[in-house]
Amino acid sequence: MRLAASLLLATAFLAGAVVAETPRPAGPLDIVSYTGQRIRLSDLKGKVVVLEFLLTYCPGCKHSAGILAQLQREYGPAGLQVIGLAIDDGAGPKIPQFVRETGANFPVGVLSNDKAHEYLQVPLMSRMMMPQVAVVDRRGMLREQHAGDDPWMAPAIEEMNLRKAIEKLLAERPGRAPAQAAPKAAPKK
């Protein structure tokens, strides 16, 4: 049994399939946006936060940023905050062009590739498919995490999936844990 589990993990690792644990505490994140705004994830408790880990030259990242800009306009007044985290080398000077091209109306800053891997629980030896999107609830729990090659992020359904996740988390009262499913009763003998 142990050998089978080890082989399964090794196969998933080699195939690039990395499944991070969710839900989990979001962990500290501190960035400075390209406009100089300092953003600490811990200061955003009480809000639903969508983190887009992106490459400034990535077409999929630009597509997602456009969707997230629309969702920020719609749900920002209800408690949504989107944050962009550019992880490509030398991203800083490229962010203003990314913002112009995508209409990003949310803070975008730079995060090192190593820190992004660590934050997303993706081994450094694994290639991340971009963009990476993480959704944090009002209590600071990372509840959703999806990579660019995840079917959840397919262009035809990405906006619908993000909208559903955001609406669900905005509907939860701040400071309250989400309702958990009742344990199944043991079958009667």
Q: What is the CATH number of the domain that holds 74?
A: 3.40.30.10
Residue 27 lies in a domain: yes
pLDDT in the model for residue 175: 64
- Gap between the Cα atoms of 121 and 19, Å rounded: 8
- pLDDT of 10 higher than 80: no
- pLDDT of 22 higher than 50: yes
Residue 89 lies in a domain: yes
For residue 67 the two structure tokens come to 């969707």
Amino acid type, 164: K
- pLDDT of 81 higher than 80: yes
| Interacting residues of 172 by C-beta distance below 8 A, sequence separation 6+ | 137, 138, 178
The domain total for the chain is 1
Residue 179 lies in a domain: no
Amino acid type, 51: L
Enclosing domain of residue 158 = 20-171
Sign of CA dihedral 83, 80, 62, 114: positive
- Gap between the Cα atoms of 84 and 70, Å rounded: 14
- Gap between the Cα atoms of 85 and 110, Å rounded: 5
| Cβ neighbour number for residue 121 with a 10 Å cutoff | 15
Residue 156 lies in a domain: yes
- pLDDT of 176 higher than 60: no
pLDDT in the model for residue 21: 84
Q: Which has the minimum average pLDDT: 48-52, 93-97, 123-127?
A: 123-127
Band (pLDDT 50/70/90 cuts) for residue 178 is low
